[in-house]
Structure 1
Amino acid sequence: MAYEPRFTISSRLLSLVEQIAVLRERIQGAAVELSWIPALQKDTRTRNGHASTAIEGNPLTLEQVRALEEGRELAAADPRSSREVLNYFAGLRYVEKHARKNTIRHEDLFKLHRLLADTVMDQGEAGFYRTIQVRVGRHFPPAAAEVSGLMFELLEWWNRESMKLSPVLSSAILHYQFEFIHPFADGNGRTGRALALWELYRRGFDSHHIFSVDEYYWEDRPGYYKALDSVRLAGHDLTGWLEYCAEGLRQTLERVWLRVQSFSVKSSEKLVLRPRQEQLLKLLRDHGSLAPAQLWESLGVSRQGAMDLLRPLLDSGLVEKIGGKKTGRYALKQP
């Protein structure tokens, strides 16, 4: 039996897909200046590695993950936590290397899972479909005897039918159905998110590999799991899940646009935005300009904390102060 995803193109979903297209075009247009692409790719790889493993409970901070990405050792960190992140980087490199592969086979999934889960599985064997029944919260995935057949159907759909849909939709469908089947004994979350990313790469949606949707899922972890569960509760109608993933991709692209602006400024040192700095830039973009007190109140930080966030943005030329000393306000610097 062929896999046939069931969903409706709601007005909200259509609007989100259109907004995503506009944001993507803006980002692609800015990518003419390629000198900053490697730095942005490195930053994205770090954020993906942190977010996807953190969703599964990995305790390492973003800065610790950044250190691992740069090849530095973490003497004080739990070895398994470090290994999970390093494995994720290996899996990500595999996906990047095979980004435009036309046909994805079982062997490709086994290789990816082996890279992601080697030596960090609680049960089962890396690179092989499960032979045991598993439980995910209140969800009992299909029996082990059904896994191979269901994965064959999913791969057939991915290789033959997914191209008929927007990659925004096909990546989300692939993500959900993989998690529903839960084909491996452990490590399915990381693998499913890596496959969704692979689909975006494969379709040329993220040709420069600078999007980190997993950050959205990590920051909204309860909402992420609720959205996954909602499909089962809706009789396997994927509409709500597709809307959730599209909203996540839209917000991700908004963040990428801010990062593109920070990396493309004409300064000797490219700026890697911290989450609070992204929030600050979004506030300035939405409000036009803000007084210092408005900034630190909106960010929930002290006056000194706000200045620590602002200083690199001012030095890089991304933000400027306008008005007098007592009446000054901060705004995004116009090109």
Structure 2
Amino acid sequence: MRTTGTYEPITTLGETVRAFVPHPLPPVRPPLAPASHEEASRRAEMALARLSGVAGLVPSMDWLLYSAIRKEALLTSQIEGTQATLTDLFDDEAGLAVANTDDVEEVTNYLRAFRRVRDNLRSADGLPLSVRLLCDAHRLLLAGARGAGKQPGELRRSQNWIGGARPGRAVFVPPPPDRVPALLSELERFIHDARPGLPPLVRIALVHVQFETIHPFLDGNGRIGRLLIAALLEQWGLLPEPLMYLSGYLKQNQGEYYRRLSAVRTEGDWEGWVGFFLDGVETAASDAERSIVAIATLVAADRRRLLAAPRVGAVGLRLFELLPLMPRFTIEQVRQKLETTFPTATAAVKLLEELGIVTELTGQKKNRCFSYAAYVELLAGET
């Protein structure tokens, strides 16, 4: 059996436990067997290529990114127990009251963290994918009341554990805090190795497990570790835009997800994890491809209906083009976005309402809110 790390006895909260310290990547003694991942890696890369290609069906890449990034933000947060829904997120963006504001805040924090990483990687003078950048993302992720006491933006200075009310009953005890900086430096070196010798998707699979095993923060490790997957997919040219929401697959298979991570540490089963991860990428890419086709079909049908209307004008068309970016909205938001008058914005919204493209949600005469209901239902059904 392959050994993937060593155990180091530590004392925390008065109990002596064994903390796991992982070996550097890649796996050795023995190395990963190529036969265990070559075909699955090829299929997953082809699924990603198809996903990139089908994105051209939709006139605006921004439409697809708006929905895909929010679905990933929502699903990765749900894995950690967040109860917010996609409609909660849309309502919050429309300025409507939502019941679980703390949960929505966690999702929007993830969106901010993801944008920070992405903006840096796409900027000539931005930070590379590094511990410093991940700490910056972590600071944004834990902004707000829930994360205030969890050292946002800082590597942990105390021992943590996973599962169990106390260290002695833990399912897993990550490395001692004094080992974390060196372990992350080794992980950085693996990420930036100019001659990696393994397919990029396999490397991403290895990086995710290593990050989760190091567990460098007091909270938010799972979300930052999954954010790292999305960042590497883009940085290594596997997916030019973040159109895939892998957390959907991981959430649907959450039990196996955790079992596979654990089996790497306890049994040295890197091959089992890599196979699970590659199957997940293939499945998630195919799901995202189907979603794009469904979005393209819906928007095209509604556009045809709008163009056939006798009173359609430029403002109505411009409003329609905005709907996939603000599926729930007020007339004031339309007025601001289109830089027009309130009566003109009202007339455009009324036309789309008469055509059945948007529906009014409140039943009020004032402070009304509207929804691109078919689009919201389509996206919400996937989460």
TM-score, length-normalised on structure 1? 0.73
Q: Structure 1 residues 102 and 239 mapped into 2: Cα distance closer, same or farther (>3 Å)?
A: farther
Equivalent residues of 2:121, 2:129 under 8 A apart: no
Q: Distance in 1 between matches of 2:116 and 2:88?
A: 22
Aligned twin of 1:116: 141
Gaps (5+ residues) in structure 1? 273-311, 317-335
Aligned twin of 1:306: none
CA shift at 1:126, angstroms? 0.4
Q: Distance in 2 between matches of 1:2 and 1:54?
A: 30
Runs of 4+ in 1 over 6 A off after TM superposition: none
Q: Distance in 2 between matches of 1:54 and 1:222?
A: 14
CA shift at 1:117, angstroms? 1.4
**Superposition pairs for residues 217-228 of structure 1, below 5 Å?**
217-228=250-261
| Cα offsets for 1:43-90 (capped at 9, x unmatched) | 11111111010001001123223434xx13453423321211110110
| 1:52 pairs with one of 76, 90, 103 | 76
Aligned twin of 1:19: 43
- 2:287 aligned partner, one-letter code: R
- 2:265 aligned partner, one-letter code: R
| 2:289 pairs with one of 250, 257, 269 | 257
Aligned twin of 2:157: 131
Aligned twin of 1:106: 131
Q: Structure 1 residues 89 and 247 mapped into 2: Cα distance closer, same or farther (>3 Å)?
A: same
- The reply on whether 1:240 has 2:240 as its aligned counterpart is no
| Cα offsets for 1:293-331 (capped at 9, x unmatched) | xxxxxxxxxxxxxxxxxxx79xx9xxxxxxxxxxxxxxx
- The reply on whether 1:198 has 2:231 as its aligned counterpart is yes
Equivalent residues of 1:102, 1:159 under 8 A apart: no
Equivalent residues of 2:71, 2:245 under 8 A apart: yes
Q: Structure 1 residues 25 and 232 mapped into 2: Cα distance closer, same or farther (>3 Å)?
A: same
Q: Give the CA RMSD over aligned residues.
A: 2.7
- The reply on whether 1:144 has 2:147 as its aligned counterpart is no
| Cα offsets for 1:244-294 (capped at 9, x unmatched) | 11111010011122123223334335999xxxxxxxxxxxxxxxxxxxxxx
Q: Structure 1 residues 242 and 2 mapped into 2: Cα distance closer, same or farther (>3 Å)?
A: closer
Report the structure number with the largest CA radius of gyration.
2
Equivalent residues of 2:205, 2:274 under 8 A apart: yes
CA shift at 1:143, angstroms? 0.3
| 2:85 pairs with one of 37, 61, 70 | 61
Identity percentage of aligned residues: 25
Aligned twin of 2:353: none
- The reply on whether 1:210 has 2:236 as its aligned counterpart is no
Aligned twin of 2:193: 160
Aligned with 2:59: secondary structure?
helix
Q: Distance in 1 between matches of 2:72 and 2:195?
A: 24
Aligned with 1:267: secondary structure?
helix
Equivalent residues of 2:51, 2:286 under 8 A apart: no
CA shift at 1:187, angstroms? 0.9
- The reply on whether 1:231 has 2:255 as its aligned counterpart is no
Q: Distance in 2 between matches of 1:73 and 1:245?
A: 38
Aligned with 2:192: secondary structure?
helix
Bigger relative contact order (CA 8 A; separation at least 6): 2
Aligned twin of 1:299: none
Aligned twin of 2:109: 87
Q: Structure 1 residues 43 and 9 mapped into 2: Cα distance closer, same or farther (>3 Å)?
A: farther
Q: Distance in 2 between matches of 1:112 and 1:4?
A: 23
CA shift at 1:146, angstroms? 0.6
Q: Structure 1 residues 230 and 67 mapped into 2: Cα distance closer, same or farther (>3 Å)?
A: farther
Gaps (5+ residues) in structure 2? 1-21, 164-170, 304-320, 325-373, 379-383
TM-score, length-normalised on structure 2? 0.65
Equivalent residues of 2:174, 2:213 under 8 A apart: yes
Q: Distance in 1 between matches of 2:96 and 2:200?
A: 37
Equivalent residues of 2:68, 2:244 under 8 A apart: yes
